[in-house]
Structure 1
């Protein structure tokens, strides 16, 4: 079971709140300053812009830019309707995206189970900033759905909000798939443009925002003076290695090596970053600070904050094969280049793991890692090609041992492929407070040095 570790000093701007192991009630949330704003919508947008808050769904897009784009698109739609130039479009829509397709991530489902009011508060603020008149909470976790519905009944929101459930898949959380599912179709990506901020749910400009992003919007509204700390902290899911999977909150700038030691894998040989989006990094990559700019400069990404550590004896070829196998199984099968490209990358990696690959296999992987990104309707093909490319870059010394002969670490057995291979369990969240519930059992993380 995935555990929760709190920072050494629990600040008031933490996403974890007072009891991360128990679903927070509306009364408890209000008592902690929730559902109150120290600033109006325009001023809040200014604070979000000044803080540099980025989305926590994976792409890391600046939040204020996205909010303004939806608001401005809505204003243009209003002007068009008044001039009777065309029909369609409409008042903006806001969506809390809690569909967590990355197999190594648990933060979004935990947030919806433990702190639904924080997410709903952020969604209401997003609606005020964009001029939205209706909202949705989009998720695939039935337990989270039940707690969100109860939270809506406990504290009726200032705009109609509907909970929409879907099946959990890797592509179901992609923003165009979110729109398509809410509109009654399958949760599959569509070609862009238009993007949801231009034409989304029901044809209206639509903000699709990750639930952690919305939580940080609500925290900023209540405590604008702490905007930089709120924007520069993030939830991280650590798994793999030799430690227990855990969910924690860290400030930007903490070295990955420090987290690996706290997780119980001090001798990590590398990591699979950003769920399946950031690719592999080797042992030297563990000294990188967990900060979007520094990671991007090094050719990797924090993504959704899911990090799978490689134990000292683990083979990165095995890990890459499992990751791409997961992606191949999760393909939406809408784009021919994705179906054939992802399968080809997976087959080549399996050949490496089995010791049956030759020089041409390596040449193909190199070529595909450069040529395939950007050719699918969503990021799945990019993730598969990026994982292969990162393996070749981060572990060049390991590849020769797989050409024509299986390495000892891979000889124990090829990884089982499929969606369940890399899954991490959501931390336990009790449905309501009671006397017998104990606080989180794990000790806090040691003091971590990072940007305050």
Structure 2
């Protein structure tokens, strides 16, 4: 690891925060929040409360269509652990965790090879969609069910053991480790002024095994994802958006549209509404079921969309979905309803011609083989 990247540069916390700010590094877990602000807020909460913070490297990756974090942890675990060490030093943390769904033995071996000032504990988390949500993860680390809690107080103020807690995606930490070594200018040499650096993406191309690639922000999407014979592209994963292929051909990678880093091409001979219905049923079943929007709203939306996905009379399904989407958005204990609504609305727009064909009893798809990965036991 050190032969490849060089030794980890020792930086004072203030210097690391300044370098992270100058680099423009943002989170790779989906929210694209500035990393230096997250680090600074946890450090400040620790000083204000007199409680030593806790840092958590989030490698749970509950998104079924994403493999970037698992791949990174398999190939470069020490880069992630370097970033976790830096985060612990920057925040003044006394405890550090690496949360994963799989590969714990491999990662524990990597941890044992090191002598970090703050010991790292590798923790297995349940393989569920919401297990990696920050408050669900801190709940799990405290020995409770891995379910999201309401956002007040936020985990940066009160997380694991009620201490200020940093939950940071493992890819973000790997970038932080490289920035500490090579500097902000090096990081900004890739990407765009608005979105500097590179990003890991999981590509789903018809007829090929999904693969993970690293690409600079600003790269045209069609350079990564072949669009010939494609009707639509799912960008950002199951909390992302569907867009028509002709629009995807004009897009470039950006922090605002990539979400979990998933890019999936829908072949022109497949049914977009049917694929969406499968995902929505999965998302409804994966909800924590502890607030009204998830307990009542998402199952109704999923059921109504199944009506749209089948050729035949649709009744009031489209209007019902639009109304229910407005009712659940922004009202959940976490952002699961919001992400689901984002997917639904994009599907209603992108697949409007196909939905009209369904309403007249016809589906244009000639191949009904599923495209998107949905765990069978909950699909």
Q: Same fold (TM over 0.5)?
A: yes
For the Cα contact (< 8 Å) 1:236–1:247, is it kept in 2?
A: yes
For the Cα contact (< 8 Å) 1:238–1:247, is it kept in 2?
A: yes
Tell me by how many angstroms 1:393 deviates.
2.0
Matches within 5 A, 1:263-282: 265-282=227-244
**So what's the TM-score if we normalise by structure 2?**
0.92
- Residue 117 (structure 1) aligned with residue 82 (structure 2): no
For the Cα contact (< 8 Å) 1:356–1:403, is it kept in 2?
A: yes
Tell me by how many angstroms 1:72 deviates.
0.5
Q: 1:133 to 1:415 in 2, by over 3 A?
A: closer
Q: 1:342 to 1:410 in 2, by over 3 A?
A: farther
- Residue 256 (structure 1) aligned with residue 238 (structure 2): no
| Match in the other structure for 2:25 | 53
Q: Which of the pair has the greater relative contact order for Cα pairs under 8 Å at 6+ separation?
A: 1
| Match in the other structure for 1:285 | 247
Q: 1:413 to 1:44 in 2, by over 3 A?
A: closer
Q: 1:125 to 1:417 in 2, by over 3 A?
A: closer
Counterpart CA distance in 1 for 2:7 and 2:148 is 34
| SS of equivalent to 1:257 | helix
Tell me by how many angstroms 1:406 deviates.
4.0
Matches within 5 A, 1:436-451: none
Equivalent position to 1:233, from 198, 205, 213:
198
**So what's the TM-score if we normalise by structure 1?**
0.78
- Residues 24-82 of structure 1, C-alpha deviations (whole Å, 9 max, x = no match): xxxxx12123442164332221121122111011111111111110011011012xxxx
Matches within 5 A, 1:424-435: none
For the aligned residue pairs, the C-alpha RMSD in angstroms reads 2.2
Equivalent position to 1:131, from 80, 89, 92:
92
Counterpart CA distance in 2 for 1:46 and 1:414 is 47
Counterpart CA distance in 2 for 1:149 and 1:348 is 45
For the Cα contact (< 8 Å) 1:260–1:268, is it kept in 2?
A: no
Equivalent position to 1:97, from 58, 64, 88:
58
| Match in the other structure for 1:201 | 160
For the Cα contact (< 8 Å) 2:269–2:364, is it kept in 1?
A: no
Counterpart CA distance in 2 for 1:422 and 1:211 is 26
Equivalent position to 2:179, from 205, 212, 220:
220
Counterpart CA distance in 2 for 1:156 and 1:240 is 41
Q: 1:219 to 1:418 in 2, by over 3 A?
A: closer
Counterpart CA distance in 1 for 2:173 and 2:327 is 35
Counterpart CA distance in 2 for 1:228 and 1:44 is 16
Tell me by how many angstroms 1:207 deviates.
0.3
| Match in the other structure for 2:149 | 190
| SS of equivalent to 1:285 | helix
Matches within 5 A, 1:276-425: 276-286=238-248, 287-293=250-256, 301-409=257-365, 412=368, 419-420=375-376
Gaps of 5+ in 2: 191-195
Number of residue equivalences: 372
Q: 1:125 to 1:73 in 2, by over 3 A?
A: same
Counterpart CA distance in 2 for 1:368 and 1:220 is 44
Gaps of 5+ in 1: 1-28, 79-89, 294-300, 424-452
| Match in the other structure for 1:67 | 39
**4+ aligned runs moved over 3 Å, structure 1:** 410-418, 420-423
Deviates more, 1:90-99 or 1:110-119: 110-119
- Residue 247 (structure 1) aligned with residue 212 (structure 2): yes
